[in-house]
Amino acid sequence: MYYGNMLMLGVSDAVICRAFFATLAGKAAEWFRKLEPRSVGNFSQLADKFVRRFAVSRLKKKPYTYLNPVKQDVGEALSIFLQRWDREVEQVEPMEDQATIHAFLTPFRSGGLYYDLIFNPPKTYEEAITRARHHADVTEANLAKRRDEQPCNLVHPPEPIPEGTDKNKYCAFHKTKGHDTAECIALRLVIEQLIQNGELDQFVKKNEQDKEKFKKNVWKRNPREQSKAPGPRGSSDDKAIGKKPMINVIYGGPEGGDSSRQRKQ
């Protein structure tokens, strides 16, 4: 490219050789300065010396199989994965568009983006990447919009916990790796408490048979007997309005700490 540009200027071969120094930096410029006087007769000889000296310094591209283990991490946003994918592809030897598209689809194998690119195949790899970035922008914008429109005030963010050993599992409740959301004991306890408080009645499916059993197991008193039956000690006002006794319970989960002293605190 340098030689072609200099030919268009119509300069002599000697000028082309000397002007080549202006394109160099670092070790290449130092190498040029150390060339012995009259050791180069023309630019062809200079180019040959340069290539033989610095050919081993070229960045070696990796084979296409290098992309095989590149996967989208659990809980990783598509936009973040695409940025990481671009960096990995730059290190791989040139491939045909169809081979690059196939390597790009391998980490997904399902989901809206995968089926969109399968049923409406892109003609070039650049088109596939452009559509993937658009899909990421739209998807993440919709998620942010739903979070803004439907705020949840029932559950407070949990205390941060250290990551577990299994990096393939991700907990959306703690926003950390180490265990799955479905396995999270702390989240189960929170959901159970919400159910007991009646906050999730619209999501809890109750069996009709269980309702009948509950009705049979309820002890029904005769109103006259009930007035004579002993009850919990309390003020006459409490008995008059039918208040039930309250038992306050200290409730905790695995966030209490590892030692018995921390859990007691």
Q: How confident is the model at residue 20 (pLDDT cuts 50, 70, 90)?
A: very high
Q: pLDDT averaged over the chain?
A: 77
Cα–Cα distance for residue pair 113/180, rounded to 1 Å:
24
String of DSSP letters for 78-114: HHHHHHHHHHHHTTB----HHHHHHHHHTTTSSSHHH
Q: What is the pLDDT of residue 254?
A: 57
Q: What is the pLDDT of residue 32?
A: 92
Q: Where are the domains positioned within the chain?
A: 2-57, 64-149, 170-256
- DSSP classification of residue 26: T
Cβ-in-10-Å burial (0-12, 13-18, 19+) of 46 comes to buried
Please give the sequence-ordered ranges of beta strands (E in DSSP) within the chain, or none if there are none. 170-171, 176-177
- Of these ranges, 78-87, 101-110, 218-227, the one predicted with the greatest mean pLDDT is 78-87
Lowest mean pLDDT among 94-98, 184-188, 217-221: 217-221
